[in-house]
């Protein structure tokens, strides 16, 4: 473990500890500093050289890339020896439960590890949603042989086998027969890592349809701000088949937007999120037209979703989350009034290390995100139809100009 040396506190400054197992949340860190907080960051050694805003950090700690949760707790305790911490924030989904363990160890207020598990464990969140009468695809824990057999006999194929604690489409396998299910279970049980075996998976009915996401800021258990968007293709299809990732805001006056906002409020309430950011996903079943809850995370959406939402509304979810974390209880936190424009993101793996998007010159381009071996554009317009038109045209052009295809990941690292 390494740490940038800092003297102990001498005043009453607010000290905030952030965990980031990946390079995330730079804007959150900057806003905390702008608001006068002293921010300490724990990340993995492999991310030491990333473009962290060191001028916004009071302390910078790296842990080994394979560090256990106990290592993070120890690193946090070493910081707490010299600095009285007011809060612990997980900037990345993989750190949500770890942050809960750190809070419990240091007796810092906030979400416990058990509460955090509902936003990390796909089996736990589905069970909690089902108990709250929120519609979810039929599922079963991939553990008990009898329950799995009864499930495959009762629920029509296809199904998807999902890791309980991975993100995006990592490790998901689509299965079409009971025999495929049993063969895949044998394959999982043969893996050397215990956390990749059957007990760490769930089996779920595959629902075809359009996938939506709702990105929120929550304070006092109430959704204070939310943006509603639709994926161009389901993320699982993009991860397994390649192509472009597209997300765009949906029409403000649509009935669908109201339905998704209400569904998101119910999920936030059922899973008990009191404070922070949330990224929830839902699917509209192509066969029955019903809306199903898929999953929720206590974090800001990835793939430049926050930047896209800011282009449409003027609200930066990372900055608002920082404001919320540092807000006093009175008066209660309130977000800025959002504008009502539309925006969308197109993103793909690229054959070039730093792809040149200068040939895309429409005035609606609001941002050109830079990431190695990725091509991306964010567009903004008062017209929903114009955003869709641009994204459809860019998707065709990206196929010729940039797209590279990589096999789907079985694990995050």
Is the predicted pLDDT of residue 6 greater than 90, yes or no? no
- Write the secondary structure of the chain as one string of H (helix), E (strand) and C (coil): CEECCCCCCCCCCCEEEEEECCCCCHHHHHHHHHCCCEEEEEEEHHHCCCCCCHHHCCEEEEECCCCCHHHHHHHHHHHHHHCCCCEEEECCHHHHHHHHHHHHHHCCCCCCHHHHHCCCCHHHHHHHHHHCCCCCCCEEECCCHHHHHHHHHHCCCCEEEEECCCCCCCCCEEECCHHHHHHHHHHHHCCCCHHHCHHHEEEEECCCEEEEEEEEEEECCEEEEEEEEEECCCHHHHHHHCCCEEEEECCCCCHHHHHHHHHHHHHHHHHCCCEEEEEEEEEEECCCCCEEEEEEECCCCCCCHHHHHHHHHCCCHHHHHHHHHHCCCCCCCCCCCCCCCEEEEEEEEECCCCCCCCCCCCCCEEECCCECCEEEEEEEECCHHHHHHHHHHHHHHHHHHCECCCCCCCCCC
Q: For residue 114, list its beta bridge partners.
A: none
CB 175 within 8 A of CB 160: yes
Per-residue pLDDT, averaged over 368-381, amounts to 96
* Mean residue pLDDT across the chain: 92
**Structure tokens belonging to residue 405:** 């295809």
User: Which among 143, 90, 140, 147 has a CA at the least distance from the CA of 117?
Assistant: 90
192-201, 226-235, 301-310, 324-333: which has the minimum mean pLDDT?
324-333
Percent of the chain whose pLDDT exceeds 70: 93
Residues facing 201 on adjacent strands: 163
Evaluate if residue 23 carries a pLDDT over 90. Answer: yes
Mention every residue, 6+ apart, whose C-beta is less than 8 A from residue 292: 135, 136, 137, 207, 282, 283, 284, 285
Residue 3: per-residue pLDDT: 52
- Residue 10 is predicted with a pLDDT of 47
Longest dimension (CA), the chain: 66
Between CA 234 and CA 118 the distance in angstroms is 23
CA–CA gap between residue 160 and residue 294 (Å, rounded): 12
Q: How far is CA 324 from CA 52, 299, 334, in A?
A: 21, 13, 8
pLDDT beyond 90 at 57: yes
Mean pLDDT of all residues in 324-329: 84
Whether residue 169 is predicted with pLDDT greater than 70 in this model: the reply is: no
Q: For the segment 231-267, what is each residue's pLDDT rounded down to a tens digit?
A: 998 777 776 566 799 999 999 999 999 999 999 999 9
Residue 34 main-chain phi, psi, to 5 deg = -60, -30
**Beta strand 209-219 pairing with 222-231:** antiparallel
Greater model confidence, 165 or 236: 165
State mean pLDDT over 53-70: 96
Instruction: Dump pLDDT digits (tens) for 340-353.
Output: 999 999 999 999 99
What are the residues whose beta carbons fall under 8 Å from the beta carbon of 295, sequence distance 6 or more?
Answer: 122, 125, 280, 281
**Helix 96-106 vs helix 69-82: angle between axes, to the nearest 10 degrees?**
50
The Cα 30–Cα 41 span in angstroms is 12
| CB-CB contact of 342 with 312 (8 Å) | yes
All structural domains of the chain, each given as residue ranges with its CATH number in brackets, are: 9-117 (3.40.50.20), 138-205 (3.30.1490.20), 209-401 (3.30.470.20)
Q: What percent of the chain has pLDDT over 90?
A: 87
The pTM of the full predicted model, rounded to 2 decimals, is 0.92
Q: Output the pLDDT for position 332.
A: 82
Beta bridge partners, 15, equal: 38
Tokens read off for 332: 């209660």
pLDDT at 410 over 80: no
pLDDT of residue 119: 96
**Residues facing residue 87 across a β-bridge:** 16
pLDDT of residue 195: 87
Displacement of CA 121 from its chain's centroid (Å): 13
Least confident of 89-93, 266-270, 294-298, 409-413: 409-413
């Amino acid at each position: 473990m390494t740490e940038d040396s800092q003297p102990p506190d001498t005043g009453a400054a607010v000290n905030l500890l952030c965990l980031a197992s990946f390079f995330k949340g730079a804007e959150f860190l900057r806003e905390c500093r702008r608001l006068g907080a002293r921010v300490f960051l724990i990340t993995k050694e492999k991310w030491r050289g990333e473009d962290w805003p060191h001028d916004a950090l009071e302390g910078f700690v790296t842990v080994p890339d394979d560090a256990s949760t106990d290592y993070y707790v120890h690193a946090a305790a070493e910081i707490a020896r010299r600095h009285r911490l007011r809060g612990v924030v997980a900037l990345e989904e993989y750190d949500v439960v770890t942050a809960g363990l750190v809070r419990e160890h240091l007796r810092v207020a906030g979400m416990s590890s058990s509460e955090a598990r509902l936003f990390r464990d796909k089996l736990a969140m589905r069970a909690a949603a089902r108990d709250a009468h929120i519609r979810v695809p039929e599922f079963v824990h991939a553990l008990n042989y009898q329950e799995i057999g009864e499930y495959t006999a009762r629920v029509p194929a296809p199904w998807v086998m999902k890791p309980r604690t991975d993100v995006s489409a990592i490790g998901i396998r689509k299965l079409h027969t009971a025999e495929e299910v049993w063969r895949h279970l044998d394959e999982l049980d043969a893996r050397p890592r215990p956390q990749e075996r059957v007990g760490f998976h769930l089996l779920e009915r595959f629902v075809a349809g359009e996938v939506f996401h709702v990105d929120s800021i929550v304070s006092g258990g109430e959704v204070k701000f939310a943006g509603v968007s639709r994926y161009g293709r389901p993320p699982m299809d993009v991860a397994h088949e390649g192509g472009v990732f597209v997300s765009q805001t949906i029409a403000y006056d649509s009935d669908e937007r109201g339905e998704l906002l209400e569904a998101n409020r119910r999920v936030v309430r059922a899973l008990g999120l009191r404070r922070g950011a949330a990224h929830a996903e839902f699917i509209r079943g192509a066969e029955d037209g019903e809306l199903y809850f898929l999953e929720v995370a206590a974090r800001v959406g990835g793939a430049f979703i926050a930047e896209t939402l800011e282009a449409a509304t003027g609200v930066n979810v990372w900055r608002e989350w920082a404001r919320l974390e540092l807000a006093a209880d009175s008066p209660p936190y309130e977000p800025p009034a959002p504008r009502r424009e539309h925006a969308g993101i197109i993103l793909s793996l690229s054959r070039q290390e730093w792809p040149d998007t200068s040939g895309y010159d429409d005035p609606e381009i609001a941002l050109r995100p830079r990431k190695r071996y990725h091509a991306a554009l964010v567009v903004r317009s008062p017209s929903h139809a114009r955003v869709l038109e641009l994204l459809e045209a860019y998707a065709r052009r990206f196929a010729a100009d940039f797209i590279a295809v990589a096999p789907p990941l079985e694990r995050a690292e």
